[in-house]
Amino acid sequence: MRIWSLNLDYMDSKGLVALWRETLLAQKVLQGKTKGYKNHPQLLRFKKQTLPLAYICYYLHSVCDEADRRHYRFDRSKIILPCDKSLSLISVTDGQITYEWQHLMQKLAIRAPDNYARLENIADVKLHPLFYMIAGEIEDWEVVATK
């Protein structure tokens, strides 16, 4: 499961579909409707919020918005709460953003070379609108891939 801190415009089609499925799973986890994934590290930053379900639903709505922009058909009725744009933003470190950007670019180089070419020279990476950047290392909840 990966819930990206990056702007969803950067996702290729496979990545956006996977993100939709994984974030729907995250919604079920936060509802207490799964046996697995209960302590998945990607969910820790949502669980820390006073209204974890509201935050994950906001995120799901943004995934649907990106899908709509691309003329994909994601079923927004699967999201259990309306989008609450009054929620406070969640901080994410610049080290985390750098890590996610490199991780995404490695994926795109293999599965979506056109997207990779479109993004490879971006210097100022945009965040998902739910997050704001602070200085710091890779987040404690990140499971860093080893080579």
* Domain membership flag for residue 73: yes
Range(s) of the domain holding residue 121: 8-134
32 Cβ contact list (under 8 Å, min separation 6) = none
pLDDT score at 147: 57
* Domain membership flag for residue 82: yes
Name the packing angle between helices 13-31 and 52-69 (round to 10°): 160
pLDDT digits (tens, 9 = 90+) for 84-117: 999 999 999 999 999 999 999 999 999 999 999 9
* Domain membership flag for residue 139: no
* Domain membership flag for residue 116: yes
| pTM of structure | 0.94
3-state secondary structure of 80: coil
* Domain membership flag for residue 55: yes
Query: 9 falls in which pLDDT band (50, 70, 90)?
Result: very high
Q: Would the pLDDT of 144 be above 90?
A: no
* Domain membership flag for residue 143: no
* Domain membership flag for residue 12: yes
Averaged pLDDT for residues 126-143: 95
CA distance 100 to 94: 10
pLDDT digits (tens, 9 = 90+) for 14-68: 999 999 999 999 999 999 998 777 778 889 999 999 999 999 999 999 999 999 9
* Domain membership flag for residue 1: no
Domain total for the chain? 1
The answer to whether 1 touches 24, Cβ cutoff 8 Å, is: no
Query: Of 100, 137, 133, whose CA–CA distance to 8 is shortest?
Result: 100
